[in-house]
Structure 1
Amino acid sequence: MHFRNPFELLIAVILSAQCTDKQVNKTTAGLFEKYKTPQDFAVLSQQQLADEIKGCGLYRNKSLHIIKTCKILSERYGGRVPDNLVDLEALPGVGRKTANVVLNLAFGKPTFPVDTHVYRVARRLGLSFGNTPRRVERDLTDLIPEAERGIWHHRLIHFGRSCCTARNPICIDCVVAQYCPKAKKQTQTLSKEN
């Protein structure tokens, strides 16, 4: 996602729920030219903002969350994005994953955001056996050195989108198939069929 500061990143990540990065970038390109600060967003009506972000899906809820979040940022934080998990998670529309993305990318904190791709890939590869995103996050932060968490977050997302997909993983072309329990099962099934 394209962003120039922590505030733009926060808005972009809120918009990214159930939406592609490409669509978020398309939407925010014009949005951030018109509205540059939390104060600019805070005075919009829900319908005004909803019309601006329609392409992102779930736009009614997202517009409401963004406006409420921007009011809080303006009133409590002087227009700045907080740089800690507790304050970020208290903002409307901001869950743990969003907060961790902002902390990692905007503030350089050694967090490990867990989205659906990271959750799936980490469990498939046996990097975690946690049954919640929070447990997977804990396992990955124990496993991956602080300085490498940001890059590994992006690597697992890319791998989950390109090869280790939810419905039809491409185990035959996977570079880590020899370590993956799912790929081993799939290979055994294919060899029995032949």
Structure 2
Amino acid sequence: MAQPKPATVDDFLKREDEDESVRKWKESLLGDAANADPALTHPKDDPRFVIPKEFKVVVQGGQTHTYNLEDKNSLNDLKKNGYKLTEGQTFHYEVTFLVHHDLVLGLKLKTKSKKMMAKQEASFDIGSYPPTIAPITKSLEECEVPTGMMTRGEYKTVNTIEDDMGRTHLKFESKFQIVKA
């Protein structure tokens, strides 16, 4: 089944609605993009819809691991060295990004982790957003690091930021290690 063509920001702005409530709804939906300079929300030199800026692993009562998603050295560090988690800790991911050109519906972070033969997949909803001028930081749901001898060790993960339209905005690899408490 073919997916419907998404409505664009321009489609919303060009509609001539006489109803005041519809005008207010459009402004609330489009946020700062409704009245922004198009050069900021629709840059001609960057065709990307989502511009991932930063990825954080925030450990409750512990260290925050921060990675610049626009820097190859930072991405390489995340892939080669990664971060450590201790059994039983609670942590969450934070993603900072910009949205350009059009509405982005159903943005999510998908992770596929692998340790030897064991595989685990997770999906974290980020949300739906209009084009923005300022970066958006979204804290994702909390996770608990599993416990037990079989869960300890090094995991390699493929992380994907994608939307409901099937567009992949960024795919990056990471590594983490679960250590004994």
- Shorter-normalised TM-score: what interval? under 0.3
Greater relative CO (CA pairs within 8 A, separation 6+): 2
Task: Please state which structure has a larger fraction of its residues in helix.
Answer: 1
Q: TM-score scaled by structure 1?
A: 0.24
Task: Please state which structure has a larger fraction of its residues in strand.
Answer: 2
Q: TM-score scaled by structure 2?
A: 0.25
